[in-house]
Structures are given as structure tokens and as C-alpha cells.
Chains A and B, each alone.
Chain A
């Protein structure tokens, strides 16, 4: 649906900040893009279509996102790597007062420390965005990935 330009820009801006926060390795700032009662989920398109609930990550509040970042920084061991997000085809499907539902496409390229670069994941973001006094936040971000197979492991969030 067509929303006013200001709303559209606010959504696009949130998406861009999300991408740069992860790609610039500022993971500590990533949970702040979500509401406290948020849902963040990473699930394959196959499970999503079959209505099977378990995917790669399932966080049903912001504290769990903070825990994931702490774990990635302090506990988990994985080879140095970074992402580059490409975002497109943003479609607002519902908009009502403080909330919008938005579908968009993504591609994430993963770059390893030795330079090997891989199209690591592609798929859709299914978002519920809440417009708060502090600006738009993700009340829900469901990452539905098309690529079925995960190369090696998924550490950094998509």
C-alpha cells in the first residue's frame, strides 16, 4: 500500500540503520533497533511454508538479543567474518496508526578474513514496525531465508 513519504522514509531509514549496524560490527547497538517485547526469528522458507516453528534463531524479547550479542562476543568461537547487506523491494502491506507491516528482500554476502566471499543468504524480511516516540522500531523481524543450507555456521545475525 502507498503510505506518506515521511513514513516510507522512516521505514527505509530503519532498514538502512539495521544493515549498517550489523555490517559495521556494531552488534551492541543492534538490540536497540527492536522493541522490548520483540520477536526476532531466522527460519528457512521450507519450514515457514510447512508451518514448522523451529529455525536457526528464535528470540521472543530484546533481552535474548542482548544475550546473543554477549555470547557472540564472549563465548562463541568462530572465524573472523563480516557481512554486507543488500536490501530491496520494500513493500508496505499494512499500515494502521502506530504499526506497519512490511515485506522486503535481502541478500547477505559473507566475507571471511582470508577474503573468500560468498553469497551467504538471501530471502525476505517480514517485519512489524512500531512507531514509538523514539522513532520506528522492530516489533517483529522474521528472516525467512531461501537458501536452505547454511554454509559452516551462522553467528552474526542476518
Chain B
């Protein structure tokens, strides 16, 4: 593997060179070594394409992908690029394509496994024109991804070397994913999309950074919701790339987790506290769990708001963040109301997430011209082990550990 175009600074995972967010060549290398490398990318929830022929278009990194339900109930993921002249094949966000995918440019048709079925005028007209005899349909199918499913979520990879999805996620983080999604039937309650003016990694780091939560997002502290008694911790996978952080509010002596909300003496009170009428859905008192799977997938549980976030690079300095809000088919009415109400906390307009939409852009703007400098990631030491403290940047260092290994930055 050739070394990237610049060296990693001394200090290991405690220093991150700003060039990694701005360098166009490095961005190209990421396409091959991260997004087409031995990792898995989230594609869609299986429930979004229930019937044979149902498809959804998405991206693996910047590569357009169409995910489609086969007749036998399985799911295929194909690169959404015609093998002829390279046009997009599926054009809509979602739909039903019947039993074949046909490119509109020259009507080349593919079955749902991506096999090229037919080429119009293959034999020409009246013996003139057409494809040469040697043209082999079998060599010109749509490129197919490896696909695997866990907890109702569909992942794909372009890498033959990638370990199984199960191994990629690992037992530790897989268990935390199971905790939220279990084997229940998912229901999509809504999607939103947000354009971030920063490199994709700045957003991924932000989701792993437990240090910023109570400092940048002051909604909880302003309304006296985040208690100093809150406990929690961080789980980090062995390679560092996956993490799950959680926090849990201890019961107050008066019994109610949020009692006192309306009567905060030295601060502001919420006029309507129904947004925090949350149910302890998983029976463990954990109020917030943020989980990531390398490179760009996030699963969030904020009280009863459950959402998936897909972090999609759009060039080196822009990112699209796709949110998919989830509930379960067996949610009762009260739970449906709660998920609807608590969605106000998160998303592009969320009380505790809107800051994450702009802070990456502030970094991206501030580092222009400072490409030789490094950011400091030293909270909680130099390692990326799991810990009981959230005053730590361990999972951010974990990300860089996995990233550097895949990119070929010398340790």
C-alpha cells in the first residue's frame, strides 16, 4: 500500500492533522481505502423495501447504490451505474422496479441480481451495426455489493476482504445495537436530510465525542434536565472504529427523574414538560445511547427517539446527513406520541442536535490555511479503551486508530 501524501504527526491518535479534512488527494484515497475498503456501509432499513421489486437509492460513501428486494425475499445492492455508458439506472429515491432495472439512456435491461439481460439492437438492423459477436452479456452486469443484515438494518460492502458484518460490528457494539433494535419489526416514522459544510469525518467525530455534549448543547443544562448525578460510559470496539456511549440519569430522592423541571429556581423552566414524559423502554434506565459503526453509520437512542444517521461525503468539504426516524410496529399510541414529541430534540432543528449542524462548518472554515497544524485529542489519555467516564475522547481516538490503519498512515 502506498503511503498517503502526507505524514501523520507525532503523538499518535492524540493529534489529527487538519489536512485530513481539506486535502483533495486524501479524499480520493478515502474512496478506495475507506468506502470501498474492508468496511461496511449502512444502506437502508429492510422494512423500507418490503415487496419484491421495491427499491431505494442510497450511497456507499459517494458511490450511488440501488438496494432492491428480490423475488425470493432476499435483498441485493447494486452500484447504480449502467455498465454501458455509466448513467444512473434507478432515478427515484424509492419505488418499485418490477423484475428488472432498465437504464433509460439506451434501454439496457438488468435483472434484480444485476445481470445484463438484453441490449436493444444487439444484432443491428438488417445485418448492419449492432454489437460484435464477441460481446458477452455476462461480463457486463451491474456491479454487485456484498450485503448483510443485522437488527433489520441492511449494510453493504464493495470489498471481498471485508470480514463478515457481524465481525465488523463486533460483539460488544453489536450487543448495544441489539439493546435498542432487538428483533422487533421496525417502522420508519420519517426522514430528514441536512447539508453540512464540513468534511464527513468532522461529523462522525462529533457523534463519538462525549466531551462536548453538555458543553455545546446547553438545552439540558439551561432547563435543568441534565443532572450532575448522571452516570454513563463509553464502549469502544477493539480496532477503535465502533463505539457506543450511554448516560443514565440517577433517580432523584423525590423519586421523579425530571421532577423539579418546572420549578428550576435559578434557571429557566420548560412551560411544557411533556417532551420528557419518556418511558424507560429498555428497562435499564439509560436515557441516551449514541452508537457508531465505522466508517459512517450512527444509531441514536435519545429517550424514546430512535434514529439512524448516515453520514455521506459530498466532496471533501461538504456532507449530507440523512436521518431516518424509527419506531416499532408494536408501538402503542402513547409510545407513538412520545416518539413524535421527542423528535423535537434531534434532527436539523433539534434542541440538542442543531449545534452539531454548524460546529463542523466552523472547524472547516477555521482550519483554512492551517493545514500544517494539528488538532488535539487528548482528553482521557492516549488510548481508546472503553471507560466509565464520558469526560474522554477515547472513541474519537478509536476512530483515528481504525482510519489510520486502513489508510496506511504509519503508526
Contact = CB atoms under 8 A, between A and B. Distances in A.
A and B: real partners?
yes
Interface of A: 42-44, 46-47, 52-61, 63-64, 66-67, 70-71, 74-79, 148-155
What is the size category of the interface that chain B forms with chain A? 35 or more
Contact of B194 (A55, A59, A71, A152): A152
B178 interface: no
A58 B357 contact: no
Contacts, number: 115
B194 to A, nearest CB: 5
A152 B358 contact: yes
Contacts of A153: 194, 348-349, 354-355, 357-358
Given A58-B344, A75-B222, A52 B189 contact: yes
Interface of B: 93, 188-197, 216, 218-219, 221-223, 268, 270-272, 275, 320, 325, 336, 339-341, 343-344, 347-349, 351, 354-355, 357-358, 361
B126 to A, nearest CB: 48
Contacts of B193: 148-150
Nearest to A43: B190
Contacts of A61: 272
A34 B193 CA distance: 28
A30 to B, nearest CB: 14
Given A56-B349, A149-B193, 10 more contacts: A52-B188, A54-B189, A55-B190, A63-B271, A67-B271, A76-B219, A76-B351, A149-B320, A153-B354, A154-B354
B223 A75 contact: yes
A154 B190 contact: no
Given A52-B188, A64-B271, A150 B343 contact: no
A150 B272 contact: no
Nearest to B197: A152
A153 B362 CA distance: 13
A54 B268 contact: no
Given A75-B223, A152-B357, A154-B354, A56 B348 contact: yes
